[in-house]
Structure 1
């Protein structure tokens, strides 16, 4: 606190109520779940702050997981240097513009000054605006020293010097640096260390709960969450469970008819940590596990009133993760450095409202960078309409990814039309046609966005057989053998293999 000049001791002005504070103690674990160190952090009781008095805006951008995977794909493809740094007490770098008064921390009151309060000068942890003020400070420093902010992901920066470049990704207080020049990488490290109190962690191996495995000789890089999955399994007493071959299989059914009907059934479910388990599955799904995207979405639909069948399905996913916790999302060099998307949909399979489920997965250099499985908002009346709505959803996200990668300025092929595969020929023909007849007449105007992108030559939609549709597991349960084949094609494997 003294080093960062966080506060001044002052008399409390009349009519002002100071914000409280408390100590928070935490055990920091290493990637293997072992105790690394014990931490004590002083935090302000931000819940007592008053809007437009103690704070104004609170929004702070957060880096997308897509950005992490895009950078990993580029690191593997170009054999880039990949290092990591940690900002010590990051939030204490943010300047505070409002007058905020805080009670003195317990155990550290200077003798004779017990009656004074702390007038905060920095955005101490716990304040509602703390994250925003830290980001604004970091952004100011980066732009001042020649880093360009990505317009899609505002926590991703690029600096170029001739043919050399450095990509920087900020995750609150964790920083990833990828560069094709070791000298430029070290220059960026010196810049960061000069402006902030940094810890240099060397070559990246573990960031935001994700383990990074790299074999530079073979040109391979893998992302896994084995330690995280082990902790989740232990938390719910599933660490010794028998593995399942798949998280969901063909024939598995979900619906509100499985929800509790009586008070006794509801009372029983209140004793079961269903919502907590689904929340734990979410982080694995979002980061490295596209293979559980569909079942995660299905389980999430019944969060408010889950039944025993839903709970059994959630435990089945945990058993699947038990058998596949060593799986790595793998990246390697490819001759095909372009973004390719796969879009799929079922038709009216939701037992509750007959809506369809869209699924998509995007690849860069033939490896996964983004995926999604979600229920469509529109009730469609044909398979073609359901598939076309899925194409629309995939197109919107694909354009976002395209713009994100364009901002990195290191992938020339991104200037070509985005290629999107669909396994429904009618939807493909409708996307590439200007006619306004048939089922397409009943679609909302916004879905014509797809045709506009095709006409502008920014999008190319092509037909592909269902047998090789990578997004198929995002929309339905499959027979175990077919599911395993799709998982392998998604880039998930137990060992890094060329």
Structure 2
């Protein structure tokens, strides 16, 4: 492009819109370490005790839990910062989305939970998202909860994403593996007979059988412990959370491979 337009080559990208970019030989790593430091300073949490997970695994947030009102301005400021951080931190996606439900009339408990997420950010300040070079784009799906119906909805999304990837030149020639942790749902899908147990399911959900026969998707059993989407749907204990976080490519910059 420099031969056609007047421009200056500034070298590799290092920073863009609050996102830092590190480009070792084997991957591209994006992070928001500098941006994440701002809410910590703003809310005097630089010296706070850290926590190892964004949310307590057994805690549920509700609208009216009687802990008293909190400052909407401060609460929205924290949650807004967290939502922007999800660009490189999928590990706080669930916590941020839950907190975003209470932007109007937040309580002291909601505010305390938001500050807990910041305490987790303090412990994981150098974390970011790694994209490994040289890998083909392989679409993989996961479905959980509501089992058969969930698998049907995931199939619809997979078909749509298949078209999107094709437009980008990433044609998915093989069946898309759809990971499901329920053997009954898999058995129903692979059984061509509509029996008594599926009469209550709307007909529109049964198109998953056609997608399976046409080789568009392949329903595969996945143990619950390997359900990587759990990090987006519910809080988990430390060990399981750390495992899912690493599988999503969220890691420390110091752990990047140079080879």
Q: Per residue, is there more strand in 1 or in 2?
A: 1
Partner of 1:241: 48
Deviation at 1:272, TM superposition (A): 5.3
Q: Per residue, is there more helix in 1 or in 2?
A: 2
Deviation at 1:336, TM superposition (A): 6.4
Q: Deviations over 1:344-374 (max 9, x none)?
A: 33xxxxxxxxxxxxxxxxxxxxxxxxxxxxx
Deviation at 1:464, TM superposition (A): 0.8
| Inter-partner Cα distance in structure 1 for 2:47 and 2:154 | 39
Deviation at 1:395, TM superposition (A): 3.0
Partner of 1:427: 185
**Within-5 A mapping of 1:223-242:** 223-242=30-49
Report whether the alignment pairs 1:212 with 2:21: yes
2:176 to 397, 418, 421: 418
Partner of 1:282: 83
2:97 to 276, 284, 297: 297
Deviation at 1:294, TM superposition (A): 1.7
Deviation at 1:250, TM superposition (A): 2.1
Q: Secondary structure at the match of 2:56?
A: coil
Query: Structure 2: any 5+ residue segments left out of the alignment?
Result: none
| Inter-partner Cα distance in structure 2 for 1:441 and 1:278 | 44
Q: Is the 8 A contact 1:222 1:496 kept in 2?
A: no
2:208 to 450, 458, 464: 450
Q: Deviations over 1:181-203 (max 9, x none)?
A: xxxxxx3x555x36xxx665432
Q: Is the 8 A contact 2:71 2:106 kept in 1?
A: no
Partner of 1:327: 127
Q: Secondary structure at the match of 2:11?
A: strand
| Inter-partner Cα distance in structure 2 for 1:275 and 1:428 | 43
Partner of 1:388: 148
**Within-5 A mapping of 1:75-90:** none
- TM superposition score normalised by structure 1: 0.47
- TM superposition score normalised by structure 2: 0.85
Q: Deviations over 1:127-160 (max 9, x none)?
A: xxxxxxxxxxxxxxxxxxxxxxxxxxxxxxxxxx
Q: Which has the larger radius of gyration?
A: 1
Q: Is the 8 A contact 1:453 1:459 kept in 2?
A: yes
Partner of 2:161: 401
Report whether the alignment pairs 1:202 with 2:11: yes
Q: Secondary structure at the match of 1:415?
A: coil
Q: Secondary structure at the match of 1:202?
A: coil
Deviation at 1:253, TM superposition (A): 1.7
| Inter-partner Cα distance in structure 1 for 2:153 and 2:99 | 21
Specify which structure has the bigger relative contact order, considering alpha-carbon pairs within 8 angstroms and separated by 6 or more residues.
2
Report whether the alignment pairs 1:273 with 2:74: yes
**Within-5 A mapping of 1:348-363:** none
Report whether the alignment pairs 1:474 with 2:232: yes
Q: Is the 8 A contact 1:341 1:419 kept in 2?
A: yes
Query: Structure 1: any 5+ residue segments left out of the alignment?
Result: 1-186, 346-385
Q: Secondary structure at the match of 1:391?
A: helix
Deviation at 1:437, TM superposition (A): 3.9
Partner of 1:172: none
Deviation at 1:421, TM superposition (A): 0.6
| Inter-partner Cα distance in structure 1 for 2:198 and 2:84 | 37
Q: Is the 8 A contact 2:143 2:179 kept in 1?
A: yes
| Inter-partner Cα distance in structure 2 for 1:276 and 1:221 | 30
Judged with a 3 Å threshold, the aligned counterparts in structure 2 of structure 1 residues 339 and 309 are, in CA distance, closer, same or farther, namely same
**Within-5 A mapping of 1:54-93:** none
Aligned length: 256
| Inter-partner Cα distance in structure 2 for 1:432 and 1:300 | 39
Q: Secondary structure at the match of 1:241?
A: coil
